[in-house]
Copies of this chain bind each other. A is one copy, B any other.
Amino acid sequence: MAKLQKSIDKRNALVKATIELVNNNGFHATPMSKIAKMANVSPATIYLYFENKQDLVNQTYIDVKAEYTNYAFADFNPNMPIEEGFEMIWKRIADFKLKECEHAMFLAQCDNTPMIDEESRQEGIKHLQPLLDLWERGKKEGVIKPLSDYILYAYAINPLSFLMMTQKRGAFTLNKTHLEEAYQSAWSSIKMCK
């Protein structure tokens, strides 16, 4: 195997182990030694790929955030009609949160905790721009309520995080019907009433 690929594999294994351990035990209870063990690597090797523990968790956050937004916008193009574009993005996000729920959970933990440096948090936010642009256009066309982006996000997207979390805790399971209901709630909370 090529040298470069081996390096990439090792880095990925470390990121993967970080996600899994932080999800299950929390940041406070995931020592570098455990991360190393789960990635089949010596603790010292981590420091060839990352500066320190903080850097490891920051980079893991940015990696996962990029994966999330790539997934969300994969089939989207900025010229779609507003409602169609929103539905596509919403459903991709829902898909991601349910299929890659380990990753979504990790993001939820990072986003509600001071465990990520502010700089990395900002870096992560940037990738969401296409959705904000869509909303901007929607407001101009009179299709989307003229609300702050934060309020739109709070009502249209964020509920999915809560549902993902609840499902992960085993309290209930989202089926196709739930998801359609949730989408309707999301859309009706941001669309202009006629």
- Return the chain B residue nearest A167 by Cβ: B150
**Residue-by-residue, is A112-155 near B (CB-CB < 8 Å gives 1, otherwise 0)?**
11110000000000000000000000000000010110110111
Q: Give the secondary structure class of A's interface.
A: helix
- Copies of this chain assembled into the complex: 2
Q: Are A159 and B154 in contact (CB under 8 A)?
A: yes
Q: Are A189 and B178 in contact (CB under 8 A)?
A: no
The answer for the CA separation of A40 and B109 in the assembled complex, in Å, is 31
Q: Are A162 and B171 in contact (CB under 8 A)?
A: no
The answer for the CA separation of A151 and B181 in the assembled complex, in Å, is 9
With a cutoff of 8 Å between Cβ atoms, the chain B residues found around residue A189 in the complex are 155, 185, 188-189
Interface size on A, residues (CB 8 A): 39
**Which of A2-10, A24-32, A72-80, A85-93 lies on the face that meets chain B?**
A24-32
Q: Are A147 and B181 in contact (CB under 8 A)?
A: yes
- Return the chain B residue nearest A193 by Cβ: B188
A178 in contact with B113 given A159-B154, A163-B154 (CB within 8 Å): no
Q: Are B151 and A185 in contact (CB under 8 A)?
A: yes
Cross-chain contact of A28 among B27, B162, B165, B171 (Cβ < 8 A)? B27
* Chain B min CB distance to A5 (Å): 33
Residue A166 CB within 8 A of the other chain:
yes
A148 in contact with B112 given A158-B159, A159-B154, A159-B159 (CB within 8 Å): no
Q: Are B163 and A151 in contact (CB under 8 A)?
A: yes
The answer for the CA separation of A113 and B105 in the assembled complex, in Å, is 9
A24 in contact with B158 given A147-B181, A151-B185, A181-B151 (CB within 8 Å): no
